[in-house]
A and B are shown apart, each in its own frame.
Chain A
Amino acid sequence: MTTLLTFRDNIKSFLGRFDYIITPIAKGIFALVMFLILNNQFGYFAALNNKILLAGMALICAFVPIEILAGLGFVVVVLHSVKLSIDVGILALALVLFFYCAYMRFSPKTGIVALIIPMCYSLHIIYAIPIVLGFMVGPAAIIPAIFGVVLFYYQEGLRDVSNILVTATEEEESVQGYQYIIDLFIANKFMLLTFVVFACVILITYVIYRMSFSNSWIVAFIVGGIMNIVLFLFGSITLMVEVELSSVLIGTIVGILIAVVLQFCKGIVDYQRTELLQYEDDEYYYYVKAIPKLSVSEMNKNVKHINSKTH
């Protein structure tokens, strides 16, 4: 355990020192993966799949705040929809604008959660996500998570619409993607169940995680996991919808494991950052690099074992 903790502290100090290089790289890679998955899921606008454009967008995202990255993701979604047909494009625009006006304005940083959810669907870890969001973000993640689920089912509906549009002849032009997708939303009880379960699990995990008893974190993950399974089961029985039990079970276990790993690494994220500053006074221009002082390393760590049995 001591080795692990030292290892963590070493990573932390490394990240702290080279934060100004590592953060843009990590952000750029994340943006690239996000755009690739979005293009894979939507993929109606072939021009957006252009490698140079993707690389350019990822490069821009590396240097802008995370909320602009979320905004760009939403723009990509709207563009794909407009390319498929104008009416679904309008629906996508309405969804995104509604989300922005109703929620993202107040808490812009959580907007990215709405785009992480469709990514989790395509990585098959969707049942794992509420536990992780519960302790990483807290209740502020509930509405973005719900919007993310809507975005995923919107994309499913879009796929149906594109299939219908391909097979439809000219006489059947009355097929309305807009109406079709909203009908799907209304009829989709599983989506509704997912909303409720996500909201409950995020809230419960957060509340228990913040309690002050020792090891509250592991209790929070396990209770969150159990709630996840029980609520999905209960919902599937009462709403008469099919839930793949095996994927819920596996997803929950994976979620707990991810949460445990992230809990261990959480200290890494709040490291003191190296700052590159520029300012001036009457006489000089200053280019300052402020490096945080390191706290723990293996050399100066002294672990004393106190064993009561010897006394």
Chain B
Amino acid sequence: MVREENVKLMSKIAIYEKRNGKEEIPMSGYFKSDYVRLNVLKTCVSATIAFVIVAAVIVIYKMDYILANVFKIDYKSFGFAVLLLYVIWMLIYWLAARILYSIRYEKARTNIIEYNHNLKKLQEESQKEFVKAMRGVVINDDFIDF
């Protein structure tokens, strides 16, 4: 038999899974610190790629100059300058990613709590049905009054 209450619950759950759930449900598998750390790591990789792209574009643009002065360039100070820029660039991304992913985790948490609550309710409902089918009686403790 199709039970209206169950359909309502299942629809609520399905709507969440279809919309925000895709991104948010995997989050529930992590502690906040792990989630933030993992995403900061991913961000660091993509920020490094972005930095390398910019560096490559500049190197190709300045290729004529570099080839003409191959022996004159002070590689030590040049390397140091690039390293400094890289560190600043990464620091900005590291900080931004920490803040961004912490906020995202917190936002998702409330939705996930509601989702879990709905799942639990659904489970309870089906348990009740099961008991009913097996013994024909459901013991609901609300009615037990001593």
Contacts and interface: CB of A to CB of B under 8 A. Distances in A.
A binds B: yes
A102 interface: yes
Contact of A178 (B2, B53, B60, B97): B60
A290 B100 CA distance: 33
Interface string B20-58: 000000000000000000000001001101100110110
B11 interface: yes
Contacts of B18: 275, 277
B15 A101 contact: no
B10 interface: yes
A281 interface: yes
B61 A178 contact: yes
Contacts of B6: 281
Contact of A101 (B7, B49, B97): B49
Nearest to B12: A290
A97 interface: yes
Interface in A76-100: 90-91, 94, 97-98
Nearest to A289: B11
Given A277-B15, A281-B10, A101 B47 contact: yes
Contacts, number: 52
Contacts of A278: 14
Contact of B2 (A94, A275, A284): A284
A105 B40 CA distance: 12
Interface in A193-221: none
A98 B53 contact: yes
B49 A275 contact: no
Contacts of B57: 91, 94, 182
B13 to A, nearest CB: 8
B24 to A, nearest CB: 15
A98 B54 contact: yes
Contacts of A279: 10, 14
Nearest to B1: A283
Contact of A182 (B2, B56, B61): B61
Contacts of A106: 43, 97, 100
Contact of B46 (A101, A178, A275): A101
Contacts of B46: 101-102, 105
By CB atoms of chain B within 10 A, which of A91, A97, A98, A101 has the most?
A101
B107 to A, nearest CB: 14
A205 to B, nearest CB: 23
B50 A101 contact: yes
Contacts of B97: 106
Nearest to B14: A277
A179 to B, nearest CB: 6
Interface in A258-294: 275, 277-279, 281, 284, 286, 288, 290
Contact of A275 (B10, B15, B56, B61): B15
B21 to A, nearest CB: 12
Contacts of B100: 106
Given A94-B57, A284-B2, A102 B11 contact: no
B50 A98 contact: yes
A129 B42 CA distance: 33
B7 A288 contact: yes
12 contacts: A97-B49, A98-B50, A98-B53, A101-B47, A101-B50, A101-B53, A102-B50, A106-B97, A277-B11, A277-B14, A277-B18, A290-B11
5 smallest CB-CB distances across A and B, nearest first, come from A101-B50, A102-B50, A101-B46, A277-B14, A101-B49
Interface of B: 2, 6-7, 10-11, 14-15, 18, 43, 46-47, 49-50, 53-54, 56-57, 60-61, 97, 100, 126
